[in-house]
Amino acid sequence: MIDTLQVFQELQEVLPPEAARRVAEIIGRVYEELQQGITRTEFQDLQRAMAELAEAQRQTERQLQALTAQMEALGRRVDGLTQRVEELAEAQRQTEQQIQALTAQMEALGRRVDGLAQRVEELAEAQRQTEQRLQALTARVDGLAQQVEKLAEVQRQTEAEVLSLSRSVKELTGELRETRQQLGGLAMTVGYTLENEAFKALPRLLARDFGLRVHEPLRRKYVIDREGDLLEVNIIGHASQDGESVTIVGEAKVQLSKNDVDRFIRKKLKRLEGALPGRLFPVLVTHMTTAADVEAYARNKGIALYYSYDF
């Protein structure tokens, strides 16, 4: 007879209680049926089969224990992997945060790069404009250089012409100097001739027009002015008018102008006032005047005026 309690206890070690109980009952019924329907030899075979089954069960239990150990080891590995996965997940979160930060930095850097690209484009455009301006300036400088070269050539030609002109001017200056000397000599000759004629004609003309009696020949001489300096007088002589003593003071001009009249008053009459005996009687003689009103201008100044054709 089989001990179902022992079978139950053995099965309970590897199966849940309810399952162990059910299996033990089934084994007990099978055993009873076998006792009733099988021979001793069959029963022995059955016992061997049961022993083999029990051995297989023990091997299964050992395998189950080994598998359980493996499962526990695997569980520990899974726990380790789980922890590692958590760590990796945390690292992944940190990496994602870093990636987000880097993404933000990259976006900011991208904006800066865009700004730099725009700035580079602006600088490139400015560079192109600068190059264009430089080319234009170079062209202008080249043009100016050509103009300067042309001006330099013109300057050289001008200097040559000026040098030639300078020589011509020197020659003309020499000729003009000679001409002036000749004219001066001629003017002096004409002036002296006019004075000489005046010396002879004035006594008669002054007696006729102003009642002057000339007591001595008119002449040219140096006298002492009111400052005590020597002064050359072209025409001078003593005379009387209505019993009054006068000194004739005159000058001859080939061509008489208002400036000559003023100069005669300033340089001769003013300097001789009070320096000669009696009252001064001014006289001017000339071939012609520079303007129609010069004669009236001289007479309004109290100066007697005679032309050479009056002689």
Condensed to tens digits (0 to 9), the pLDDT of residues 290-308 reads 999 999 999 999 999 999 9
pLDDT above 50 (res 186): no
Q: In whole angstroms, what is the distance from residue 216 CA to residue 205 CA? A: 15
Domain count, the chain: 1
- pLDDT at position 110 is 81
pLDDT above 60 (res 236): yes
Q: In whole angstroms, what is the distance from residue 99 CA to residue 96 CA? A: 5
On whether residue 151 sits in a domain, the answer given is no
Helix (H, G, I), strand (E, B) or coil at 1: coil
Which region among 104-108, 189-193, 242-246 has the lowest average model confidence (pLDDT)? Answer: 189-193
- Domain containing 196 — which CATH number? 3.40.1350.10
On whether residue 152 sits in a domain, the answer given is no
On whether residue 250 sits in a domain, the answer given is yes
Q: How confident is the model at residue 183 (pLDDT cuts 50, 70, 90)?
A: very low
Q: In whole angstroms, what is the distance from residue 203 CA to residue 207 CA? A: 6
Domain hosting residue 225, numbered range: 190-310
Cα 77-79-83 angle, rounded to 5 deg: 115
Nearest Cα neighbor of 284 from 223, 226, 200, 198 is 198
On whether residue 6 sits in a domain, the answer given is no
Buried b / exposed e over 98-108, threshold 16 CB at 10 Å, is eeeeeeeeeee
On whether residue 140 sits in a domain, the answer given is no
